[in-house]
A = this chain, B = another copy of it.
Amino acid sequence: MTDSQEWRHLFTLLKLAEMGAHKRTAKISTEYLAEKLVTSQQTASRYLIELERKGWIKRSMTHDGCLIKIDDAGTGELQKLFSNLRSLMEAAYPPSVTLEGTVFTGLGEGAYYIGKEYYLKQFVEKLGFEPYPGTLNLKLTSDYDVKARAELEAYPAVEVAGFKNEDRTFGLVKCYPALIDNKVKGALVTALRSHYDASVLEIIAPVCLRRQLNLKDGNKVKIEILIPM
């Protein structure tokens, strides 16, 4: 993760790029750079030394200034920032939505539904994992979470088709891949039938979440829903 040191370096790199140092070797004095950075000549000098140490730029000194070229590593950093910004700015949806809920024990019907062969096959295909036979039930506590959950309906989801057997019809299931407690990959599944209201989440994962995360009724759990672009 980018720390505060890196920010300054990244911005210095950006200014150097604005002076053309990413396309060609440019003659840039510390005084001139300082002006662009709104800082002192000494600070600009220090930044350049730091950037050189990091391998982000190459320098060669001449009698009247130094020649600077942004190195591949530096260009890579700028590219990374650019890609990051692009995906943020061009995306229609936020990259993720985090919900928080309290663990409670359900009626065990989740297990019944997700165990159905036709659903199961699709979970493996579309989510990339075979769910542990049981759902983790979470009760949303705050207004914020209920609202945020409602917003999700408008976001793209992984759709698991419904089916019909001799007895009855099984509906479409919308899944939202998610990171549970910042640790386990799983998915939020829309209530298979509306046993629960809008303030309840059902989570599936390749493992037993209660065991894996050592959860008991009443514990709070964070669900970070990752929205595809």
Number of this chain's copies in the complex: 2
Q: Are B7 and A94 neighbours in the complex by a CB distance under 8 Å? A: no
Q: Are A96 and B3 neighbours in the complex by a CB distance under 8 Å? A: no
- The minimal Cβ–Cβ distance linking A51 to chain B, given in whole angstroms, is 15
Query: Which B residues touch A62, using CB under 8 A?
Result: 142, 144
- The minimal Cβ–Cβ distance linking A142 to chain B, given in whole angstroms, is 7
Complex alpha-carbon distance, A72 and B93, angstroms:
17
- Pick the contact of A17 from B8, B27, B88, B97 — CB < 8 Å? B88
As a 0/1 sequence over residues 131 to 173 of chain A, the CB contacts with chain B under 8 angstroms (1 = contact) are 0000000000010110010010000000000000000000000
Known: A82-B86, A89-B82. A24 touches B97 (CB 8 A): yes
**Which residues of A25-71 are within 8 A (CB) of B?**
26-27, 36-39, 62, 64, 67
Complex alpha-carbon distance, A89 and B17, angstroms:
9
A side interface size, CB within 8 A: 46
Q: Are B27 and A94 neighbours in the complex by a CB distance under 8 Å? A: no
Known: A20-B97, A22-B94, A88-B22. A4 touches B14 (CB 8 A): no
Complex alpha-carbon distance, A14 and B80, angstroms:
13
Query: Which B residues touch A64, using CB under 8 A?
Result: 142
Check A218 for interface membership: any CB of B closer than 8 A. no
Query: Which B residues touch A78, using CB under 8 A?
Result: 85, 88-89
8 further contact pairs, Cβ within 8 A, besides A24-B148, A85-B85: A4-B8, A20-B95, A21-B94, A23-B91, A24-B97, A27-B142, A62-B142, A79-B89
Interface set of A (CB-CB < 8 Å, partner B): 1-4, 7-8, 11, 14, 17-24, 26-27, 36-39, 62, 64, 67, 78-79, 81-82, 84-86, 88-89, 91, 93-98, 142, 144-145, 148, 151
